Structure 1
Amino acid sequence: MAALNRDAIEQMGFAEIGNNVTISEKASFHNCAKIKIGNNCRIDDFCVLSAGEGGITLGNYIHIAVYTSLIGAGKIALDDYCNLSSRVAIYSSSDDYSGAFMTNPAVPKQFTNVEHADVYLGKHVIVGSGSVILPGVRLEDGVAIGALSLVTKSCKAFGIYAGNPAKFIKERKKDLLTLEQQLLKPQKQ
């Protein structure tokens, strides 16, 4: 993956940009002034981050794998240590599919009924490849989403969820919280 240098990243006009940020030169960003990126983040090839009015906020130690997209008018926030596997799609806006309204952004707003709702991913959330997260979803700390899942509802902390629609499978181990403390120790001294 060919990465942008620091000067190129700073010239993009992000609202905030942390240290040790790796961004592929093949990633696409829209409305950078509404995007905040923390420390130790990596955004891979062919990712699309398209910030609407609510913006996009990435915490620290975030990985966004190839072909992933974060799109919509509502706020999308990823807390520290989140990992989005390849081809994950997070939407904070969605058309009304009922047929009662027209769809797509090329149609004037008075003919559509787009839902806009914030999306939040807590600390240590991991989302498996090919999963889709819809507007208004909140994934609490430690949630794991299995590959190819459709997440339509919020998920409770340290649960493993999978399926279409995603359902609770079992509890997730919390050993990673101890590892987080070990990672942070050298930084506190």
Structure 2
Amino acid sequence: MAMLTREAIETLGFASVGENVQLSDRASFYGASRIALGNNVRIDDFCVLSAGVGGISIGQHVHIAVYSSLIGAGKITLSDFCNISSRVAIYSSNDDYSGITMTNPTVPSEYTGVTHADVFLGKHVIVGCGSVILPGVKLKDGVAVGALSLINRSCGEFGIYAGNPARRIKERSRDLLELEQRFTTSKTK
């Protein structure tokens, strides 16, 4: 995986770019002027970030693995220490599948019933491979999502969620908060 140089990253026109940002030269960015990247962000091959009017905000120490996508008109926020595994799809816009309206972006909006809603992932959220997150969902701090899960409603903090649709299956340890504190303190020395 070849990473873009800092100079190449700056030519893409992001809203902001932190330090130590690693972007694959095989990732695609649409609406880059509405995408903000924090420090220590890594985005791997074949990821697609398509920022609508709400934009995409990515915090510190965030990894987005291969073939993942963040798409939609609503704002998508990935807070510090988020980990998005491969083939995860995060949507802040969604077509109406009922048949009452037409679908797809080639049809004028007056004939479609697309809904838009912000998506928020709190600190230390990890999303397992192949999972789908739908518009309007909030994953509070410490949520872990099992592989191949459908997240169609918000999830409470430090829970492990899995399934289709996902449900809370157990509690997640908060030990990582102590590790975060030690990590953060070690960086200031």
TM-score band w.r.t. shorter chain: over 0.9
How far residue 186 of structure 1 moved from its aligned partner, in angstroms, is 2.3
Structure 1 segments, 4+ long, off by >3 Å, are: none
Alignment of 1:27-176 (within 5 A): 27-176=27-176
CA distance in 2, matches of 1:133, 1:7: 33
CA distance in 2, matches of 1:90, 1:119: 8
- Cα RMSD between the aligned structures? 0.5
CA distance in 2, matches of 1:188, 1:24: 29
Matching residue's letter, 1:116: H
CA distance in 1, matches of 2:100, 2:85: 34
CA distance in 2, matches of 1:165, 1:185: 39
CA distance in 1, matches of 2:185, 2:99: 55
TM-score (norm 1): 0.99
CA distance in 2, matches of 1:64, 1:144: 15
Matching residue's letter, 2:126: I
Partner deviation per Cα, 1:11-67 (whole Å, 9 max, x = no partner): 100000000000000000001000000000100000000000000000000000000
Unpaired runs of 5+ in structure 1? none
SS state of the match for residue 135, structure 2? coil
Partner deviation per Cα, 1:75-130 (whole Å, 9 max, x = no partner): 00000000000000000000000111000000111110100000000000000000
Matching residue's letter, 1:163: G
CA distance in 1, matches of 2:188, 2:24: 30
How far residue 187 of structure 1 moved from its aligned partner, in angstroms, is 2.7
CA distance in 2, matches of 1:93, 1:112: 12
